[in-house]
């Protein structure tokens, strides 16, 4: 694998020299990858799932998690722990490590919750895209209908004009 | 920015404010008096003593708890020691409140609802797509007919034109 600091661009551009004249002379774009792939030396899968928190999970597991409530609860816990840390630093400064660990655990849980909301966001984006596509298609149908009607009207008028001039 | 990214950014901001709070307090904390046998470091004596300032290691957060207004030292540090924690804790609470507000603004719905809506939309999309295709085909047919008629009319027009 070539690992230079500033690698040159890939040489595929040469294959597209005659694209303007003959679009079929250039190769097709590569098909979507199936299975695992390598990026910068790291191997990844195509359907990456979020690894679970296992024993370090603070919020209750289960099929339906009330995200808003859990996020708010964890936020309050976080504030309490920060306050606790301040107190500990005043009274027993040498015991800060445990509190700092707790705070970082709470942050991990919060981030895990937020990341697990991403699939929901993806579905919502899909819904939005479908809705806007339906909207555009309906608009196009209306436009076409309108134009056809106009064309029919014009044809009818021109027919009347021709008939009128014929009978003259 | 989408709301989940905003939430994540808000979370890092809370972390940053907390870390800055503790860091600033630890950095600016004045030394504390260990015991009455040592001279008070905050209260420099009339006779200067070089070894009279026992530096307590890591005595942070004690600044707001200490109420030892130094008589001689300049004013700015005293103000900072009281203002800093207030301002920073204000910022912390503000950041936490913003997080809560963002959480409240999350448009959540269950997964089944979303999947059902996606299926409905897909079905409607199919129907609308078919309708659009029908209209397109009809419009193209009419266009061809009009073109044929136009060509005929122009041909007749040319044929009927009196040669000069």
pLDDT tens, A85-136? 989 988 888 888 999 999 999 999 999 889 888 989 999 999 999 999 999 9
Q: With an 8 Å Cβ cutoff, is A135 touching chain B?
A: no
Tokens of B112: 């089944």
Can you tell me the distance from the alpha carbon of A130 to that of B82, in angstroms, rounded to the nearest whole number?
A: 56
- Which residues on adjacent β-strands are paired with residue A37? A44
Residue B45 has pLDDT above 70, yes or no: no
pTM: 0.69
Name the minimum distance, in Å, from the CA of B83 to any CA of chain A: 17
Task: Verify whether the Cβ–Cβ distance A134 to B121 is below 8 Å.
Answer: yes
Residue B66 has pLDDT above 50, yes or no: no
Can you tell me the distance from the alpha carbon of B113 to that of A32, in angstroms, rounded to the nearest whole number?
A: 30
Name the minimum distance, in Å, from the CA of B48 to any CA of chain A: 30
ipTM of predicted complex:
0.72
Best A66, A110, A156 residue to mutate vs chain B (most B CBs within 10 Å): A110
pLDDT value for B28: 82
B chain contacts of residue A111, beta-carbon cutoff 8 Å: 8, 11
Can you tell me the distance from the alpha carbon of A110 to that of A102, in angstroms, rounded to the nearest whole number?
A: 12
Mean pLDDT on A25-34: 85
Residue B67 has pLDDT above 50, yes or no: no
Can you tell me the distance from the alpha carbon of A70 to that of A73, in angstroms, rounded to the nearest whole number?
A: 5
Mean pLDDT on B102-123: 91
Name the minimum distance, in Å, from the CA of A27 to any CA of chain B: 31
Confidence bin at B63 (pLDDT 50/70/90): very low
Which of B18, B60, B135 has the CB atom closest to A93's CB atom? Answer: B60
- Nearest Cα residue in chain A from B99: A75
pLDDT value for B120: 95
Q: With an 8 Å Cβ cutoff, is A71 touching chain B?
A: yes
């Amino acid at each position: 694998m070539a690992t230079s600091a500033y690698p040159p661009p890939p040489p595929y551009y040469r294959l597209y020299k005659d694209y303007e004249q003959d679009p079929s002379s250039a190769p097709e774009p590569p098909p979507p990858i199936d299975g695992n792939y390598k990026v910068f030396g790291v191997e990844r899968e195509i359907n990456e799932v979020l690894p679970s928190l296992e024993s370090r999970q603070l919020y209750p597991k289960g099929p339906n998690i009330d995200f808003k409530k859990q996020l708010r609860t964890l936020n309050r816990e976080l504030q309490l722990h920060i306050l606790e840390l301040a107190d500990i630093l005043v009274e027993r400064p040498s015991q800060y490590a445990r509190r700092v660990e707790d705070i970082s655990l709470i942050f991990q849980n919060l981030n895990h919750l937020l990341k697990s909301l991403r699939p929901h966001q993806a579905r919502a984006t899909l819904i939005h895209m479908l809705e806007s596509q339906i909207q555009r298609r309906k608009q196009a149908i209306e436009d076409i209908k309108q134009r056809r009607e106009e064309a029919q009207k014009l044809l009818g008028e021109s027919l009347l004009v021709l008939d009128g001039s014929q009978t003259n | 920015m989408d709301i989940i990214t905003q939430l994540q950014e808000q979370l890092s901001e809370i972390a940053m404010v907390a870390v800055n709070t503790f860091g600033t307090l630890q950095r600016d904390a004045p030394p504390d008096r260990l015991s009455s046998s040592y001279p008070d470091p905050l209260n420099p004596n009339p006779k200067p003593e070089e070894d009279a300032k026992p530096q307590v290691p890591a005595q942070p957060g004690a600044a707001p708890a200490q109420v030892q207004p130094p008589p001689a030292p300049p004013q700015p540090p005293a103000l900072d020691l009281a203002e800093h924690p207030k301002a920073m804790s204000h910022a912390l609470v503000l950041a936490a409140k913003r997080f809560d507000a963002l959480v409240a603004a999350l448009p959540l719905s269950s997964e089944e609802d979303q999947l059902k809506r996606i299926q409905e939309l897909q079905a409607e999309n199919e129907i609308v797509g078919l309708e659009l295709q029908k209209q397109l085909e009809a419009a193209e047919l009419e266009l061809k007919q009009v073109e044929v008629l136009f060509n005929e009319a122009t041909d007749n027009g040319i044929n009927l034109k009196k040669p000069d």
